[in-house]
Amino acid sequence: MSRNHGASLYGRSMSLAGIDSSGLSGDDLISRLQSRLESRIHGICFSPYADGQGPGCQISEDQIRDRMSVIEPSVRWVRSFSCTEGNELIGGVAHRFGLKALVGVWLDDDREQNELEIAAAIEVAKAGHADILAVGNEVLLRGEMSEDELIDCIGRVKQAAPGVPVGYVDAYFKFVDHPRVTEACDVILANCYPFWEGCAADYALLYMKEMYRRAVRAAGDKPVIISETGWPNVGTPTGAAIPSRDNAIRYFLNTYQWAEEEGIEVFYFSSFDEDWKVDDEGDVGAYWGLWDKNGCLKYQSQGHQRSQPTCV
């Protein structure tokens, strides 16, 4: 088979290590990111908090609507993290925008609060505002709940919300470490962060692919969704993983080129920069958003201005 004939028959190529950005300027990268957003990414991790707010603040439906209006033109799904303090309204607002909702149920070592979260999530599902329910987020990683407790919570929500796929969110390797939790889920929601494992940006896509494949092997025949991945643009490095504008943009572009090629559902982290995360993650915690804390798209080029509003 000739080289040209073989290429015409295969008709596609795969991005093993990501886009070739060697000849691209900073404005070129930004233009590509904006084009990708204009074509809508699968999903984004959505936080409704404004500057100065964080968990513990009561959020109004008007504020949720205002924040979501910024990201709505760029996504098909939103992911929430809680069903209390106003966060239980996120799924309904998303549906009114024509988006789907992966509704989160926050669990930790406060058992009384966990019951409020579960009860509220069931009501959201019964109202038809949850397309997927995520019961717990990294609660095993944080060591705040036993495997048996978590499985019980997942089972109770599944029983109370028939017809809604129910899963659990955690680092990809936790589904290898806890096969009983994996079995209890309808869908595996795997967080994949090459940054937090100190991987250099040049190798981050290959690293994430292996994270995803480990989750897929653990899942068996269950679907696997990447529930979080991202790269910060400012802050202290983690090992060889260096926050920067160009690294953040390249990681975003590589992620969604791969996701498109292989039909992988990815929720990008995150919608907005959030100062409150500094307490848990250090300075880098405040700079994971595609939009800044004021709702302005962080990456703007002179030659490619978006037609939609970029600030709230």
In a domain, 33, yes or no: no
Tokens of 290: 């595609």
Q: What is the mean pLDDT of residues 73-95?
A: 98
Count of domains observed in the chain: 1
Query: Is the distance from CB of 312 to CB of 66 less than 8 angstroms?
Result: yes
pLDDT score, position 25: 84
pLDDT score, position 312: 58
Q: Is 287 exposed, middle or buried (0-12, 13-18, 19+ CB in 10 A)?
A: buried
Residue 12 has pLDDT above 70, yes or no: no
Residue 14 has pLDDT above 70, yes or no: no
In a domain, 32, yes or no: no
For 109-122, give one letter per residue: b (16+ CB within 10 A) or e. Answer: eeeeebeebbebbb
In a domain, 12, yes or no: no
In a domain, 133, yes or no: yes
Query: Is the distance from CB of 41 to CB of 256 less than 8 angstroms?
Result: yes
Range of the domain at 230: 42-286
Q: For 55-69, what is each residue's pLDDT tens digit?
A: 999 999 999 999 999
Residue 30 has pLDDT above 80, yes or no: yes
Beta strands in the chain (DSSP E): 41-45, 75-79, 100-105, 132-137, 166-171, 187-191, 224-229, 266-268
Query: Is the distance from CB of 78 to CB of 46 less than 8 angstroms?
Result: yes
In a domain, 21, yes or no: no
In a domain, 237, yes or no: yes
User: What CATH number corresponds to the domain at position 278?
Assistant: 3.20.20.80
In a domain, 31, yes or no: no
Residue 2 has pLDDT above 60, yes or no: no
pLDDT score, position 301: 74
In a domain, 294, yes or no: no
Residue 308 has pLDDT above 50, yes or no: no
Instruction: Please give the Cα distance from 186 to 197 (Å, whole number).
Output: 27
Residue 8 has pLDDT above 50, yes or no: no
| Rounded alpha-carbon distances, angstroms, from residue 251 to 203, 244, 257 | 10, 11, 10
